[in-house]
Chains A and B, each alone.
Chain A
Amino acid sequence: MTIDTAYMLEKLPAFWKGAAVTFQVAGAAILLSTAAGLLNAAILFFRIPVLRQAVRVYVEAARNTPLLIQLFFLYFALPSVGIRLSGYVTAVAAMTFLGGGYLTEVIRSGVEAVSKGQMESGLALGLSRRQLLRHVVLPQAMRITIPALFSNYIFLLKETTVASAVAVPEILYTTTNFIALEYRTYEMLLMMTVLYLLIFLPLSFLLDWVERRLRHGQFGH
């Protein structure tokens, strides 16, 4: 079996485009899930009635069902009630639904990890719960949360592959599409795997490094 490098070079631009789509979809989903996670964690922190229960139900639903079902639900089931979304919008929406659930948990547990004594002394100083969150809890919680946030961002970046199922032209879809069209399975699989390794191996090592750095930088546990 010989590798047709000329063929692979010819397909390189398409793969760059696929990588760009992967990062765009994941980037949008990461931003929106972080916003959702912060909002939900605030609802839990301020113990807002009704909304608090709704957040709990949402978190369990998001974390205990596969992304593919969430994706298919939005893409194939919603049109029957008159809501039609494009592949891109579906992918970002479904990944935000999933990621928001995970990030709510991550940020909530970061907030809870800030020691009780600090909350109590803040309240004793006469800070409101809002001031406490902004000036005492959040700055510390964010620091504790960074490794978990980062690993969830990598997780979301990897989940982008599932969006290929609704024809979003990211890396995996680009690959399978070419395989279906031109039957050059060997070359396409090789390119896909190398590209994913190039993207994710450095991220994986970076995550290890961040975790080690912040673990040593922590205090008071």
Chain B
Amino acid sequence: MGSSDIDLLLQSLPQLGRGALYTAGIALSSIAFSAAGGLVYGALRTSRLPLLRFALRTYLELFRAVPILVWLFFFFFGLPIFFGLNIPSFQCAVLVLSLWGITEMGEVVRGALQSLPKGQREAGRAIGLSERQLLMYVLLPAAVRRMLPPGINVCTRLIKTTSLTVLIGVTEAIKAGQQIIERTGESLLIYSALFLFYFVLCYPLSALSRRLELRWNPQG
């Protein structure tokens, strides 16, 4: 990298930074919604009501089966037509990523809850806890260690998926990069920087997830 490249990168920083903030905004809000929603969704998936279980399962299959980019386009182009709702692309991105993230986080939560030994549930009921108390004070705290490593992986997937929001017109990191390329023609430099940007966001999380997994369940 020559000194002119470094100059260009430095000049581009404010614009790239603004784009990166949008990326971070989408990532953080959809991670927050997914985590909160996923806890509720995952807990409800262990419910014994057949109708509720069926509804939640349908939601899961729909969001899992159809590619996330298709959902992005479906919501972005479809909501105005089907419901007369015009959602700005940023909010649309957060909505779709959250709806998807909730099912993914929910599966992590459900898996962790169901992997707990049965004795815990029974002991909790035996000492007279309500189902809600059982979940809040016994099951969820015990399941955290099994939820955290795969939950962090869902976060990295959400972060990577924010890249797709450029395709529905969000001015996030990639879009900012493209605008700089239009002005300067430095595509190699800017795309390398974007590659690195996502890597720097995701790699520490993957490494953390692997470490926690090794520490907490070494036999897998």
Contacts and interface: CB of A to CB of B under 8 A. Distances in A.
Interface of A: 1, 60-61, 63-70, 72-73, 76-81, 113, 158-162, 164-165, 172, 175-176, 179, 185-186, 189, 192-193, 196-197, 200-201, 203-204
Nearest to A78: B188
Contact of B164 (A68, A70, A113, A203): A68
B65 A69 contact: no
Contacts of B68: 158
Contacts of A172: 67, 69-70, 73
A197 B61 CA distance: 10
A67 B156 CA distance: 13
Contact of B202 (A65, A162, A175): A65
Looking at chain B's contact residues, is the secondary structure mostly helix, strand, loop, or mixed?
A: helix
Interface residues of B, number: 40
B27 to A, nearest CB: 12
A162 to B, nearest CB: 6
Best-surrounded residue of B66, B74, B199 (most CB of chain A within 10 A): B66
A101 to B, nearest CB: 11
Closest 7 CB pairs of A and B: A66-B163, A64-B202, A200-B65, A158-B67, A77-B191, A66-B160, A161-B69
A159 B164 contact: no
B33 to A, nearest CB: 20
Interface string B150-166: 00000010001111101
A185 B77 contact: yes
A69 B191 contact: yes
Contacts of A175: 73
Contacts of A70: 195
Contacts of B156: 64
B66 A76 contact: no
B181 to A, nearest CB: 7
Contacts of B14: none
A76 B65 contact: no
A61 B199 contact: yes
A201 B61 contact: yes
A69 B174 contact: yes
B198 interface: yes
Best-surrounded residue of A77, A79, A81 (most CB of chain B within 10 A): A77
B130 interface: no
B192 interface: yes
